[in-house]
């Protein structure tokens, strides 16, 4: 089945139990002219601040590009929480997750938007993007754990919602188990991630290693995987994700001297960097159909 049909099926399966759905006329970007790359620069594990366009080097399919703009903390965020509500989370696990999600809401700025998607055997948009964090907080309080785990579908739904307007997009995907109920194939959602500006951080609280899907989703969007945190450490994990995302740079450039379509390999470096400096960014992007 073709990617477009699969993604359409996933969207049709959404429910909006509180009357919140996609805004009238809302569209999802399928192609871009300028390329935006979210970049995290660490030195000894700590974020490096104060860098400018002159400090970065971006190569698109091996071709050095001219960076048009570097933004740092100037752009409001779209933050989407995509949270596993399967039956295995019932009890203390659900309470810990509620606390962690609430702590992340506490760190939002007035211009940031936040949304909530939950997934069990179904995917539900509990709240669309809004600056009224109290609406999302109320939705978090109503969450109930039951059923299976549509992890792939839920992650895709959150990614599409996160990038549904021009602000910076962060998706936080939480799960404590393997997928048992998705319609979409993991490869189809990873392909969609290659076309997305959203950065996905994944938090996996299962006993086994994180599923390859969660690792790939984070890797192809330039995010990170937090694996097997103790229930008591969910709160600092969620707050760390938001704090780290605010320390990332957003590089924008118009591709020059590269093919118009297909997979574009990206390499981002910091000029004159020390051996202890590491750069985290998506490894590439897909253009065209």
**Token digits of residue 39:** 């970049």
Show the CA angle centred on residue 11, arms to residues 225 and 107, nearest 5°.
45
List b or e across 226-256, with b for residues whose CB sees 16 or more CB atoms inside 10 angstroms.
Answer: beebeeeebbebbeebbebbbebbbbebebe
Print pLDDT tens along the chain (289 aa).
333 434 444 443 444 443 333 333 333 333 448 999 999 999 988 899 999 999 999 999 999 999 999 998 878 999 999 999 999 999 999 999 999 999 999 999 999 999 999 999 999 999 999 999 999 999 999 999 999 999 999 999 999 999 887 789 999 999 998 999 999 999 999 999 999 999 999 999 988 899 999 999 999 999 999 997 665 689 999 999 999 999 999 999 999 999 988 999 999 999 987 778 999 999 999 987 6
Query: What pLDDT shows up at residue 88?
Result: 92
| Spatial separation of the C-alpha atoms in residues 57 and 243, rounded to whole Å | 25
Q: 39 pairs with which residues across the strands?
A: 249
**Token digits of residue 245:** 């995302």
Helix (H, G, I), strand (E, B) or coil at 140: helix
Backbone angles phi, psi at 102, to 5 degrees: -65, -40
Helix (H, G, I), strand (E, B) or coil at 210: coil
Q: 285 pairs with which residues across the strands?
A: 264
| Spatial separation of the C-alpha atoms in residues 13 and 182, rounded to whole Å | 10
| Residue whose C-alpha is closest to residue 249's, from 99, 51, 116, 5 | 51
- The DSSP code sequence of 215-261 is HHHHHHHT--EEES--GGGHHHHHHHHHHHHHT-EEEEE---SS-SS
Q: H-helix or E-strand containing 126? A: strand 123-130
Query: What pLDDT shows up at residue 289?
Result: 64
């Amino acid at each position: 089945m073709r990617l477009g049909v699969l993604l359409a099926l996933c969207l049709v399966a959404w429910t909006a139990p509180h009357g919140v759905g996609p805004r009238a006329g809302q569209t999802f970007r399928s192609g871009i002219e300028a390329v935006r790359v979210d970049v995290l620069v660490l030195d000894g594990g700590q974020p490096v601040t104060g860098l400018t366009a002159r400090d970065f080097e971006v190569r698109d399919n091996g071709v050095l590009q001219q960076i048009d703009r570097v933004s740092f903390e100037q752009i409001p965020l779209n933050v989407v929480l995509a949270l596993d509500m399967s039956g295995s989370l019932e009890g203390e696990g659900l309470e810990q997750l509620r606390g962690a999600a609430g702590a992340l809401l506490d760190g939002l700025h007035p211009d940031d938007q936040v949304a909530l998607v939950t997934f069990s055997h179904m995917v539900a948009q509990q709240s669309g993007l809004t600056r009224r964090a109290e609406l999302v907080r109320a939705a978090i309080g109503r969450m109930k754990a039951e059923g299976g785990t549509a992890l792939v579908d839920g992650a895709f739904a959150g990614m599409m919602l996160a990038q549904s307007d021009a602000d910076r997009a962060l998706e936080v995907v939480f799960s404590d188990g393997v997928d048992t109920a998705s319609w979409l194939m993991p490869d189809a959602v990873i392909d969609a991630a290659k076309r997305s500006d959203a950065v996905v951080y994944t938090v996996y609280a299962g006993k086994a290693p994180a599923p390859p899907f969660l690792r790939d989703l984070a890797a192809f969007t330039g995010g990170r995987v937090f694996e097997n945190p103790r229930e008591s450490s969910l709160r600092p994990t969620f707050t760390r994700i938001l704090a780290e995302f605010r320390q990332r740079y957003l590089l924008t450039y118009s591709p020059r001297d590269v093919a118009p379509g297909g997979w574009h390999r990206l390499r981002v470096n910091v000029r004159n960097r020390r051996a202890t400096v590491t750069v985290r960014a998506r490894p590439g992007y897909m253009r065209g159909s």
